[in-house]
Chain A
Amino acid sequence: MPDLREDLERLADFVGEPRTFVDLERSRRRRERRRRTEGLVAGLAVSVVAALFLISTFDGRPVATPQGTADALPTATPTVWPENAINGDAAARVQAAVDSGDGMMQWRTDPKAVTDRFARQILGRSVDITGIAMQPGHWKASMIPCPAGFLQGDAGCGNPEDGLQIDLVQPEAQGDGGIWSVAAVTSDRLDVSIDAPAGEPVAEGADVTFNVSQLGSSSAAHLRVVGSNGCNVVFAAEPDVTADGQRILRVPKLYQASPSCVASAGGYAIAYVTDDTTLAPPDPIAEPTAIESPWITIVPFAIDWDREIITPTPSPGIESSDPSGAVPTASPSAPGSANGPSGIEIPAAIESASSQSCSPIPATEFDIFFKGVQLVGCGRWTAGTSLTMYFESAEPDVASGLMLFSTDQCSQQICSGEPLWQVPVEVHQSARTFHIDPLDPGAYILLDPVHPTTTAVAIDVS
């Protein structure tokens, strides 16, 4: 195809000119702002899926634990794969499926098969198992991950220095027929220790210490702590680490307890390594990615968390004095719910804000600095234009969200009804970016339902 290059050049001509260096500078500034939270970045997403999954799976009943069954382990052992605290920890259901003869699940009764599948799905590699130690209900193996293209057992399958240890447990029933789950994975180069007695639940805020060693010059380590109470999934993360050394993260606080949240909470600390040019996902267990280096350490734990049930209390004066950011909205873990808040108080200045006092220049991008700058003001948007919003919290461990109301929905300093647009209430220590679709001309109020008296803005769209 002698004309192929010409065709490609012609096609590429359609892309036009890239944005300028000024645009790049601006993007970088935003990125740096997002990282500016005491060296730690936390991301959080309200895991409605997990809650719904649990509700549908257990029909509101407490999660089954192995306690009380004759052949069960004496205490529930946190696991990381396939079941874990983030995805609903439905080991009991899997065990029941195996017990009922479900052929698709029989591989779960073979620890080697579980190890193989874990390696393929999470590491993207096969493994050469070099040693096994087995005790009732506990299987431990040393393994060398094989690079893509090598088969297990091939010479050159992997470097012994890249070896991993993997621990499997039988979370439901010991012995033949009991399912196996991955309980921990350890790389000697990525040490993870948790400031809590072995086997005991970890307190919210507990230190998780990561030690990275022998990191290559073109590699980046990614350190995460993930926790969930069945309603929320909370991350603490260290930005890409490109040098050996020690870093400390804290087990994030879990929020928004509701009857649908599970009685137990848990999570895992995870460290893994990629090429330093790779964009690493928040949680490679939930979102497998390319792990160019076969180093990974995962330590699961239960979380001893505050089970306070937050009831819907949309009432005046809802600015929370509780540093945990108690959430006043109804069912905050169910974004899009038909049951909107019955009323949220807003500052008088916002309700009475006149578009005349806003900047005459319509914004196409909007920065909100929560707790860094008290945001009570007004803005002007152009009708029919989508808007990008950067929402940044300068204070960690505080729940926040966004709701957009028409001023028609607000009177006497109370906004009520279903928001026109909303961002679920989350504990989100870093910045978030939102895109709001074009709005019709009119007057709107954007507020943080958790802190509406300090974070609210009147918007004029024209």
Chain B
Amino acid sequence: MGHMEATVTSETDERPIMFEEFFEAERTRLLRALYLLTGNREEAEEVLQESFIAVWERWDRIGAMDDPTGYLFRTALNRYRSRVRRAGRAARKAVGQAHGGDGFAEAEDRVEIARALADLSPRRREAIVLTELLGYGSAEAGRLMGVADATVRRLAQDARAELKTTLEVRDA
């Protein structure tokens, strides 16, 4: 299968950005973020693949955007949210435990914060992952989440407070 044709040039060398380059540049960062959001490696990988394929199919358009990475992460967040909604409505543990194991639970012995992160609401988790792990500012994170930057700040602040409380209780 041939790769999509290049439609944009990189800022550094003015050569076309191939989708494969984009994939290689973003895949690890996205997987790490999705892993923290879903708490499950397989779930994270599925969302990653769905998101990259969606972007790939529209690469002519998305590749020409100023910020294709932002589009990718917004796609991934929306797909993650769809799964959360479906899991909730179907009363199934589709996210985080979809494949018979909770990756965070397995990691708990090694990293205490895993469980605390898993206990956060999806929105708070998104805010903290975007701002802390990925280093987005509140404005950029807000664009990705589809909320105001003030909302991101509040969610991230609430997430930090909840994490702190949870960890202190467990330490006690």
A and B interact: yes
Contacts between chains A and B (CB distance < 8 A), count: 109
Residues of B within 8 A of A13 (CB): 32
Interface residues of A in 2-59 (CB under 8 A from B): 4-5, 7-19, 21, 23-25, 27-29, 31
User: With an 8 A cutoff between CB atoms, is A130 at the interface?
Assistant: no
Q: Please determine whether A27 and B49 come into contact, CB atoms closer than 8 angstroms.
A: yes
A29 CA / B1 CA spacing, docked (Å): 8
Q: How large is the interface on B (under 10, 10 to 19, 20 to 34, 35 or more residues)?
A: 35 or more
Residues of B within 8 A of A278 (CB): 78-79, 82
A152 CA / B78 CA spacing, docked (Å): 26
Interface residues of A in 280-316 (CB under 8 A from B): 281, 287-290, 292
Q: Please determine whether A12 and B32 come into contact, CB atoms closer than 8 angstroms.
A: yes
User: With an 8 A cutoff between CB atoms, is B107 at the interface?
Assistant: yes
A285 CA / B24 CA spacing, docked (Å): 38
Residues of A within 8 A of B90 (CB): 287
Q: Please determine whether B49 and A24 come into contact, CB atoms closer than 8 angstroms.
A: yes
Q: Out of B20, B53, B58, B111, name the residue touching A27 (CB < 8 Å).
A: B53
Q: Out of B48, B86, B113, name the residue touching A11 (CB < 8 Å).
A: B113
Residues of A within 8 A of B71 (CB): 277
Interface 1/0s, chain B 43-81, versus A by CB < 8 A?
011001110111011100000000000010011001101
Q: Please determine whether B31 and A18 come into contact, CB atoms closer than 8 angstroms.
A: yes
Q: Please determine whether B85 and A290 come into contact, CB atoms closer than 8 angstroms.
A: yes
Interface residues of B in 105-151 (CB under 8 A from A): 107, 110-111, 113-114, 117, 128-129, 132-133, 146
Min Cβ gap A360→B in Å is: 27
Q: Please determine whether B54 and A277 come into contact, CB atoms closer than 8 angstroms.
A: yes
Residues of A within 8 A of B58 (CB): 242, 276
User: With an 8 A cutoff between CB atoms, is A275 at the interface?
Assistant: yes
Q: Please determine whether B41 and A15 come into contact, CB atoms closer than 8 angstroms.
A: yes
On whether A31 and B75 interact (CB within 8 A), knowing A10-B111, A11-B117, A287-B89, the answer reads no
Residues of A within 8 A of B146 (CB): 275, 292
Which residue from chain B places its CB closest to the CB of A286 in the assembled complex? B89
Q: Please determine whether B23 and A24 come into contact, CB atoms closer than 8 angstroms.
A: yes
A5 CA / B128 CA spacing, docked (Å): 9
A8 CA / B114 CA spacing, docked (Å): 8
User: With an 8 A cutoff between CB atoms, is B9 at the interface?
Assistant: no
Q: Please determine whether A14 and B35 come into contact, CB atoms closer than 8 angstroms.
A: yes
User: With an 8 A cutoff between CB atoms, is A70 at the interface?
Assistant: no
Q: Please determine whether A8 and B85 come into contact, CB atoms closer than 8 angstroms.
A: no
Q: Please determine whether B54 and A11 come into contact, CB atoms closer than 8 angstroms.
A: no
Q: Please determine whether A277 and B79 come into contact, CB atoms closer than 8 angstroms.
A: yes
User: With an 8 A cutoff between CB atoms, is B103 at the interface?
Assistant: yes
Interface 1/0s, chain A 248-291, versus B by CB < 8 A?
00000000000000000000000000011111010000011110
Residues of B within 8 A of A10 (CB): 111
Q: Please determine whether A28 and B53 come into contact, CB atoms closer than 8 angstroms.
A: yes
Min Cβ gap A239→B in Å is: 10
Interface residues of B in 3-57 (CB under 8 A from A): 20, 23-24, 27-28, 30-33, 35-36, 41, 44-45, 48-50, 52-54, 56-57
Q: Please determine whether A18 and B48 come into contact, CB atoms closer than 8 angstroms.
A: yes
Min Cβ gap A205→B in Å is: 30
Most buried by B among A12, A13, A275: A12
Residues of A within 8 A of B128 (CB): 4, 8
A-B contact sample (13 more), CB < 8 A, given A11-B117, A24-B23, A277-B78: A5-B133, A7-B111, A12-B33, A14-B35, A14-B107, A15-B32, A17-B31, A18-B27, A21-B24, A279-B82, A287-B86, A289-B85, A290-B85
> Can you list 12 A-B contacts with CB-CB less than 8 angstroms, sorted by A residue number?
A1-B164, A4-B113, A8-B132, A13-B32, A14-B103, A15-B44, A16-B41, A21-B24, A24-B23, A27-B49, A28-B53, A278-B82
Binding site for B on A (CB under 8 A): 1, 4-5, 7-19, 21, 23-25, 27-29, 31, 242, 275-279, 281, 287-290, 292
